[in-house]
């Protein structure tokens, strides 16, 4: 790679919580670092120290480096610097990994609610910090459609650093990688940094899933996988895709691309995609994984979103994609069990616990036998209702059968 | 303090803030605590006039602002006031000072009720010497001009209520008040509800009309006597001037008020509404204050839904009105809107047409020198801040580097509500909002009850009642230092404490006219 001047990051007002970096390689003269930052009064010295650390780790000794910072946190600053250095043909493939934050310890769980997954554009750090405060079950750092082709390389650095530094709270840590070779490169870059779930776009065959799975293992990592069906071919191969690897944990569908693929447009009623959505639900169920619906793209239409979730739930889906944090609570409420469902679940759980106390092998509600999967589902409903505040924590006592 | 020359002119006030003992040649009282300072004597008053000196036919028109200013006897060094009803669409303040310049006047004190970015041309008048200094909010280029230390006199920042107090106790004597009106008659009755530049009420200029030596009404919409409603009354007006335009309607009120799409602001707004509900403040007959800020506006929308669901009706809502407050009124969720300032066309129309949408002035809502004011009757007010410290003191006037950012507006006055909530993000682009010590103390922590951030809610330890009220609510109540620590960890450690400059360039007044803090010439790079 030839050595040349290069830039990275975002310049001006659009670059809130971000920065813009220019690296101009030189043959001699040491490091000429020029930093202007919005946080001069509070963190000016720290910004400069971080820049020097990153440049030293990347082995950049002679260069003019200009930074215009609008409040980027250290991890974003480091990612932009690394991207500019790489684009300038410096660094010799060295990397700078920010120190490990608490999020790196958050354990992946195969069994967990995946009602909402919130997409965040992978090249825009300003939304990363607070995303988990909105309570999504999962946060997706997106490297695919929301990142412009010219920014793919720098988004990769940014997402990797965010995975190391940003606390995503109790949300499942997800990354949507690109298709094909670039996607496998994404895996190399991000998988070692505690990605819980990789989302695979536009999957049409089980081989594509296995290629990613192999790459994850080769990177010495372990990630659950969520393939996204976005084409007619993908639909026909849905069961094979859902069963491609034990790592596959859920199957979802992308309706914008799917409708384009079958030569139509997405409508509000969604008749054109009903078959595809049912295919995804059935393939997922057949493979024993979770079916998850597409996103609802009109951010302003809360009622439309609610209806869309109720419909998804009726079709058998257990989750929905979100493109704005304010969609999360609407999705959770719409997926929440109804009062009648909670009542029934409470009665089943009480009957189950009663049977256990009495050492009975069979659970009965009135004259009706209750099968174990029904009990399991009732327990899930009760837990979920408790978590949502729909059921008081002391509901057992209120039902007169106080737990010991 | 390294500057020995300045040190003898500074004194630490009750909150430990260093403030000048003298400002623009006038001896100052340092902040004495809430209710600690009570000036004695009689209020200021305008000179006695006689109706016989005014035209019997009522026609007080003069052909131009210059002619009117000359007729007022404008001299060098006088104080001239204008008002911010037209916000960033105001054309008259600049034209007034331009006219003063053409008349060759110098060293004037401009006393606006607030300044906006459209008033940046005042910098030219400060440079040329037409203006000596400004007493009023300064931000943008004017704020930088002041914080950089270029102004000859010291800036004085007052709240809307504090501006009345200063006029009433004679601290500021207005020689000439220029009141721009969307509608007026030839004898000076004027209102803000009719005309192209309709803005709601004209009540920020009411004090000036009552106390100034001379009063000029400027309008682009002259109607036959009487201009009704007469928010400003002709019996207080000396001259009337007709101009082509008083303001740019597109920058006065918005056609529609946009709600923020910022997820964090919406989250904070929702948490504020939940707090108001769960603390038991939202009950039949309660009252709340909410403006048109990024968080206050969605707060009102969330609260409205909660009121509907609970079947609760407010007695009054204090605005800053917008179409969203108007909806609350029209859906029968409040008996009254008491409106200090109107932000959109729906608000203007409602004030004009709905007798339950009442214009109020800082005199009734905030006035320190009055026999009580209704600001204390508001159950809850929701306000913003740029910084809050661990003792709940807050800053609304400067950036964390000490540069002027906002005026005080009605902010200080609203702190007297039953429950004052500051709704703020805990971090703004790597700048922690909760700090050890605010850069500029604008409001004392003992009046600030709750801080709502996206990371949790901190309740002032003085308000055990509120803490107990929300104990079982499930709201994320946290120690303020706990939120501070979390944010500092995110931002990269404790921020460098603000280094203040050595020369005071402006002062911040408390509602009673005492000095609560000082703005210093800034040393940090722009």
Q: For position B4, what pLDDT does the model report?
A: 35
The kind and range of the H/E element at B308 are: helix B296-310
Q: When comparing pLDDT for A119 and B4, which is higher?
A: A119
Q: For position B6, what pLDDT does the model report?
A: 43
Q: For position A1, what pLDDT does the model report?
A: 57
Q: Are A133 and B264 an interchain contact pair (Cβ–Cβ within 8 Å)?
A: yes
Q: Distance (Å, rounded) from C-alpha A63 to C-alpha A7?
A: 13
- Min distance B520 CA to chain A CA atoms (Å): 14
- Min distance B98 CA to chain A CA atoms (Å): 33
Pairing outcome for strands A368-370 and A363-365 = antiparallel
Residues 205-224 of A with CB under 8 A from B: none
Q: Does residue B38 sit at the A interface (CB-CB below 8 Å)?
A: no
Q: Are B431 and A16 an interchain contact pair (Cβ–Cβ within 8 Å)?
A: no
Burial class (CB in 10 A: 0-12, 13-18, 19+), B354: middle
Range of the domain at A27: 6-87
Q: What percentage of residues in chain B have a pLDDT greater than 70?
A: 98
Q: Which residues of A touch B263 (CB under 8 A)?
A: 127, 130, 134, 324-326
Q: What is the pLDDT of residues B117-167, one digit of tens each?
A: 999 999 999 999 999 999 999 988 999 999 999 999 999 999 999 999 999
Q: What is the pLDDT of residues B276-314, one digit of tens each?
A: 999 999 999 999 998 778 899 999 999 999 999 999 999
Q: Which residues of A touch B428 (CB under 8 A)?
A: 71
Size of interface A-B (CB pairs under 8 A): 74
Phi-psi region of B456 (alpha: psi -120 to 50; beta: other; left: phi over 0): left
Q: Is the C-alpha dihedral spanning B190, B196, B200, B203 positive or negative?
A: negative
Q: Does residue B476 sit at the A interface (CB-CB below 8 Å)?
A: no
- Both tokens of B116, joined, read 């906006």
The model's pTM: 0.92
Q: For position A400, what pLDDT does the model report?
A: 64
Q: Distance (Å, rounded) from C-alpha B287 to C-alpha B289?
A: 7
Task: Establish if A404 belongs to a structural domain.
Answer: no
Say whether both A183 and A275 belong to one domain. Answer: yes
| Per-residue pLDDT band at A370 (split at 50, 70, 90) | confident
| Largest Cα span, chain B | 73
Q: What percentage of residues in chain A have a pLDDT greater than 90?
A: 78
Say whether both A146 and A172 belong to one domain. Answer: yes
DSSP characters over B198-220: --B--GGGHHHHHH-SEEEEEES
Task: Look at chain A and count its residues.
Answer: 404
Q: Distance (Å, rounded) from C-alpha A167 to C-alpha A69?
A: 22
Task: Establish if A153 belongs to a structural domain.
Answer: yes
Q: Which residues of A touch B496 (CB under 8 A)?
A: 41-45
Q: Which residues of A touch B524 (CB under 8 A)?
A: 40-41
Q: Are B264 and A130 an interchain contact pair (Cβ–Cβ within 8 Å)?
A: yes
Strands (E) located in B97-154: 108-112, 131-134
Q: Which residues of A touch B498 (CB under 8 A)?
A: 41
Instruction: Using CA atoms of B391, B394, B399, B401 in order, give the dihedral in degrees to the nearest 10.
Output: -30
Looking at the 3D structure of chain A, how many domains does it have? 3
Q: Does residue A38 sit at the B interface (CB-CB below 8 Å)?
A: yes
Domain boundary among A294, A310, A335: A335
B5 CB contacts (<8 Å, ≥6 apart)? none
The partner residues of A172 in beta bridges, in order of sequence, read: A138
Ramachandran angles phi, psi of A148, nearest 5°: -65, 145
3-state secondary structure of A125: helix
Q: Does residue A350 sit at the B interface (CB-CB below 8 Å)?
A: no
Flag whether pLDDT at B110 surpasses 80: yes
Q: Does residue A324 sit at the B interface (CB-CB below 8 Å)?
A: yes
Task: Establish if A177 belongs to a structural domain.
Answer: yes
Query: Which of A98, A130, A323, A333 to probe by mutation at the B interface, max B CB count within 10 Å?
Result: A130
Q: For position A188, what pLDDT does the model report?
A: 97
Q: For position B317, what pLDDT does the model report?
A: 97
Same fold, B60-135+172-252 and B263-503: yes
Flag whether pLDDT at B419 surpasses 50: yes
Q: Are B454 and A38 an interchain contact pair (Cβ–Cβ within 8 Å)?
A: no
Q: When comparing pLDDT for B58 and A367, which is higher?
A: B58
Say whether both A140 and A188 belong to one domain. Answer: yes
Looking at A198-212, A255-269, B5-19, B486-500, which range is the least confident one?
B5-19
Q: Are A42 and B496 an interchain contact pair (Cβ–Cβ within 8 Å)?
A: yes
Flag whether pLDDT at B8 surpasses 60: no
Closest to A291 (Cα-Cα) out of A283, A282, A281 = A281
Average pLDDT on B29-39 reads 95
* Residue of chain A whose alpha carbon sits nearest to that of B425: A130
CB-nearest to B266 from A42, A44, A326 is A326
Average pLDDT on B8-31 reads 94
Say whether both A313 and A193 belong to one domain. Answer: yes
Q: Are A39 and B499 an interchain contact pair (Cβ–Cβ within 8 Å)?
A: no
Average pLDDT on B182-197 reads 97
Flag whether pLDDT at B2 surpasses 70: no
Q: What average pLDDT does chain B have?
A: 94
Q: For position B244, what pLDDT does the model report?
A: 97
ipTM of the complex, rounded to two decimals: 0.89
Q: Which residues of B touch A299 (CB under 8 A)?
A: 261
Flag whether pLDDT at B254 surpasses 80: no
Say whether both A169 and A188 belong to one domain. Answer: yes
Q: Are A45 and B496 an interchain contact pair (Cβ–Cβ within 8 Å)?
A: yes
Q: Does residue B400 sit at the A interface (CB-CB below 8 Å)?
A: yes
Say whether both A15 and A112 belong to one domain. Answer: no
Q: Does residue B430 sit at the A interface (CB-CB below 8 Å)?
A: yes
Q: From residue A95, give the alpha-carbon distance in Å to each of A26, A87, A138, B218, B294.
A: 20, 13, 28, 67, 40
Strands (E) located in A47-115: 63-69
Q: Does residue B456 sit at the A interface (CB-CB below 8 Å)?
A: no
Q: For position B1, what pLDDT does the model report?
A: 35
Q: Are B430 and A39 an interchain contact pair (Cβ–Cβ within 8 Å)?
A: yes
Q: For position A3, what pLDDT does the model report?
A: 85
B161 CB contacts (<8 Å, ≥6 apart)? B362, B365, B366, B367, B368, B373, B375, B410, B412, B413, B511
Residues 116-145 of A with CB under 8 A from B: 126-127, 129-130, 133-134
A49 CB contacts (<8 Å, ≥6 apart)? none
Q: Distance (Å, rounded) from C-alpha A374 to C-alpha A218?
A: 40
- Strand order through the sheet with B155-157: B155-157, B504-509, B515-520
Flag whether pLDDT at A401 surpasses 80: no
A142 CB contacts (<8 Å, ≥6 apart)? A119, A120, A121, A122, A175, A176
The partner residues of B453 in beta bridges, in order of sequence, read: B456
Task: Establish if A288 belongs to a structural domain.
Answer: yes
- Both tokens of A313, joined, read 């739930």
Say whether both A217 and A319 belong to one domain. Answer: yes
Q: For B475-526, where are the alpha helices, taking DSSP H only?
A: 480-491
Q: Does residue A304 sit at the B interface (CB-CB below 8 Å)?
A: no
Say whether both A182 and A314 belong to one domain. Answer: yes
Q: What is the pLDDT of residues B429-461, one digit of tens each?
A: 999 999 999 999 999 999 999 999 999 999 999
Say whether both A278 and A204 belong to one domain. Answer: yes
Cβ(B184)–Cβ(B235) below 8 Å: no
Q: What is the pLDDT of residues A380-390, one digit of tens each?
A: 889 878 877 78
Q: Which residues of B touch A101 (CB under 8 A)?
A: none
CB-nearest to A129 from B474, B490, B498 is B490
Q: Which residues of B touch A67 (CB under 8 A)?
A: none
Say whether both A228 and A182 belong to one domain. Answer: yes
Q: Which residues of B touch A392 (CB under 8 A)?
A: none
The partner residues of B319 in beta bridges, in order of sequence, read: B339
Average pLDDT on B367-394 reads 94
Q: Distance (Å, rounded) from C-alpha A16 to C-alpha B428?
A: 9
Average pLDDT on A323-348 reads 92
Domain boundary among A283, A306, A335: A335
Q: Does residue B491 sit at the A interface (CB-CB below 8 Å)?
A: yes
Flag whether pLDDT at B464 surpasses 70: yes
Q: From residue B322, give the alpha-carbon distance in Å to each of A21, A133, B343, B358.
A: 42, 29, 5, 13
Residues 507-526 of B with CB under 8 A from A: 524-525
Q: For position A368, what pLDDT does the model report?
A: 83
Is the CATH number of domain B263-503 1.20.140.70? no
Say whether both A157 and A39 belong to one domain. Answer: no
3-state secondary structure of B389: strand
Flag whether pLDDT at A404 surpasses 70: no
Q: Does residue A320 sit at the B interface (CB-CB below 8 Å)?
A: no
| Per-residue pLDDT band at B393 (split at 50, 70, 90) | very high
Kindly report whether the peptide bond that precedes residue B320 is cis, defined as omega within 30 degrees of 0: yes
Flag whether pLDDT at A23 surpasses 50: yes
A210 CB contacts (<8 Å, ≥6 apart)? A244, A245
Task: Establish if A381 belongs to a structural domain.
Answer: yes
Cβ(B316)–Cβ(B290) below 8 Å: no
Q: For position B501, what pLDDT does the model report?
A: 84
Domain boundary among A281, A308, A335: A335
Q: Which residues of B touch A325 (CB under 8 A)?
A: 263, 267
Closest to A93 (Cα-Cα) out of A60, A139, A66, A69 = A60
Domain residue ranges in chain B: 60-135+172-252, 263-503
Q: Distance (Å, rounded) from C-alpha A124 to C-alpha A403?
A: 49
Q: What percentage of residues in chain B have a pLDDT greater than 90?
A: 87
Q: Which residues of B touch A71 (CB under 8 A)?
A: 428-431
The partner residues of B215 in beta bridges, in order of sequence, read: B177
The CATH number given to B60-135+172-252 is 3.40.1080.10
- Min distance B121 CA to chain A CA atoms (Å): 24
Task: Establish if A19 belongs to a structural domain.
Answer: yes
Task: Establish if A100 belongs to a structural domain.
Answer: no
Determine how many CB atoms are found less than 10 A away from the CB of residue B446: 15
Q: Are A326 and B474 an interchain contact pair (Cβ–Cβ within 8 Å)?
A: no
């Amino acid at each position: 790679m030839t050595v040349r001047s290069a830039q990275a990051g975002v310049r001006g007002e659009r670059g809130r919580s971000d920065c813009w970096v220019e690296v101009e390689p030189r043959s001699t003269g040491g490091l000429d670092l020029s930093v202007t930052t919005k946080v001069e009064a509070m963190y000016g010295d720290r910004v400069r120290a971080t820049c020097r650390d990153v440049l030293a780790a990347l082995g950049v000794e002679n260069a003019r480096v200009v930074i215009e910072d609008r409040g980027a946190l250290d991890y974003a600053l480091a990612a932009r610097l690394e991207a500019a250095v790489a684009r300038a043909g410096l660094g010799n493939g060295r990397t700078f990994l920010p120190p490990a934050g608490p999020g790196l310890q958050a354990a992946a769980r195969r069994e967990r609610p995946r009602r909402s997954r919130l997409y965040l554009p992978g090249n825009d750090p300003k939304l990363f910090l607070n995303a988990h405060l909105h309570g999504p079950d999962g946060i997706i750092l997106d490297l695919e459609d929301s990142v412009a082709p010219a920014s793919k390389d720098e988004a990769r650095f940014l997402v990797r650093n965010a995975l190391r530094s940003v606390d995503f709270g109790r949300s499942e840590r997800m990354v949507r990688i690109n298709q094909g070779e670039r996607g496998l490169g994404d895996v190399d870059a991000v998988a070692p940094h505690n990605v819980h779930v990789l989302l695979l776009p536009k999957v049409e065959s089980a081989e594509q899933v296995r290629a990613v799975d192999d790459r994850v293992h080769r990177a010495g990592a372990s990630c659950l996988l969520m393939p996204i069906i976005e084409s007619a071919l993908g639909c026909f191969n849905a069961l094979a895709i859902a069963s491609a690897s034990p790592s596959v944990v859920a199957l979802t569908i992308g309706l914008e691309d799917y409708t384009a693929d079958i030569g139509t447009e997405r409508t509000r009623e969604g008749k054109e995609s009903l078959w595809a959505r049912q295919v995804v639900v059935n393939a997922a169920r057949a493979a024993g994984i979770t079916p998850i619906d597409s996103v609802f793209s009109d951010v302003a239409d809360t009622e439309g979103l609610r209806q869309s979730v109720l419909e998804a739930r009726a079709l058998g889906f257990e989750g929905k994609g979100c493109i704005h944090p304010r969609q999360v609570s609407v999705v959770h409420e719409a997926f929440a069990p109804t009062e009648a469902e909670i009542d029934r679940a409470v009665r089943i759980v009480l009957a189950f616990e009663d049977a256990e106390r009495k050492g009975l092998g069979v659970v009965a509600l009135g004259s009706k036998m209750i099968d174990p999967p029904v009990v399991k589902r009732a327990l899930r409903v009760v837990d979920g209702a408790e978590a949502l505040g729909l059921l008081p924590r002391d509901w057992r006592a209120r039902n007169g059968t106080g737990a010991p | 303090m390294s500057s020995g020359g300045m040190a003898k002119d500074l004194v630490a006030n009750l909150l430990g803030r260093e403030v000048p003992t003298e400002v623009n040649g006038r001896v100052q009282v340092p902040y004495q605590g809430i209710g600690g300072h009570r000036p004695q004597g009689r209020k200021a008053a305008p000179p006695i006039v006689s109706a016989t000196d005014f035209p019997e036919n009522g026609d007080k028109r003069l052909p131009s602002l210059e002619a009117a200013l000359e007729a007022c006897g404008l001299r060098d060094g006088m104080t001239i006031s204008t008002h911010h009803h037209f916000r960033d669409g105001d054309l008259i303040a600049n034209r007034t000072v331009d006219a003063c310049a053409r008349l060759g006047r110098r060293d004037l004190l401009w006393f606006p009720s607030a300044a906006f970015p459209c008033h940046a041309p005042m910098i030219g008048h400060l440079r040329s010497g037409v203006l000596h200094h400004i007493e009023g909010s300064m931000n943008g280029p004017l704020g930088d001009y002041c914080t950089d230390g270029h102004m000859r006199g010291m800036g004085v920042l007052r709240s809307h209520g504090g501006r009345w107090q200063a006029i009433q106790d004679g601290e500021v004597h207005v020689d000439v008040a220029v009141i721009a009106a969307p509608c007026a008659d030839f004898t000076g009755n004027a209102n803000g509800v009719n005309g192209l530049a309709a803005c709601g009420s004209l009540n920020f200029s009411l004090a000036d009309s009552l106390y100034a030596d001379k009063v000029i009404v400027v309008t682009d919409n002259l109607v036959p006597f009487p201009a009704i409603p007469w928010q400003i009354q002709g019996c207080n007006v000396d001259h009337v001037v007709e101009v082509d335009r008083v303001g740019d309607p597109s920058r006065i009120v918005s056609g529609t008020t946009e709600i923020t799409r910022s997820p964090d602001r919406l989250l904070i707004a929702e948490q504020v509404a939940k707090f108001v509900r769960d603390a038991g403040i939202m009950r039949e007959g309660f009252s709340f204050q909410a403006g048109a800020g990024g968080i206050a506006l969605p707060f009102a929308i969330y609260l409205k839904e909660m009121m509907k669901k609970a079947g609760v009706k407010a007695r009054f809502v204090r605005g800053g009105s917008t179409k969203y407050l108007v909806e609350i009124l029209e859906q029968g969720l409040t008996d009254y809107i008491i409106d200090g300032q109107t932000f959109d066309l729906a608000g203007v129309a409602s004030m004009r047409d709905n007798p339950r949408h009442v214009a109020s002035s800082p005199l009734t809502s905030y006035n320190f020198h009055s026999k009580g004011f209704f600001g204390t009757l508001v159950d809850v007010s929701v306000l913003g801040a740029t910084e809050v410290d661990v003792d709940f003191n807050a800053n609304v006037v400067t950036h964390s580097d000490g540069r002027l950012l906002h005026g005080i507006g009605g902010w200080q006055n609203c702190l007297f509500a039953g429950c004052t909530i500051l709704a703020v993000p805990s971090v703004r682009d790597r700048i922690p909002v909760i700090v050890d010590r605010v850069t500029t103390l604008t409001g004392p922590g003992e009046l600030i009850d709750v801080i709502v951030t996206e990371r949790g809610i901190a309740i002032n330890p003085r308000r055990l009642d509120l803490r107990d009220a929300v104990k079982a609510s499930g709201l994320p109540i946290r120690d303020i230092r706990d939120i501070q620590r979390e944010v500092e960890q995110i931002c990269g450690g404790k921020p460098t404490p603000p280094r203040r400059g050595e020369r005071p360039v402006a002062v911040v007044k408390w509602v009673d006219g005492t000095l609560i803090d000082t703005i210093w010439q800034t040393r940090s790079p722009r």
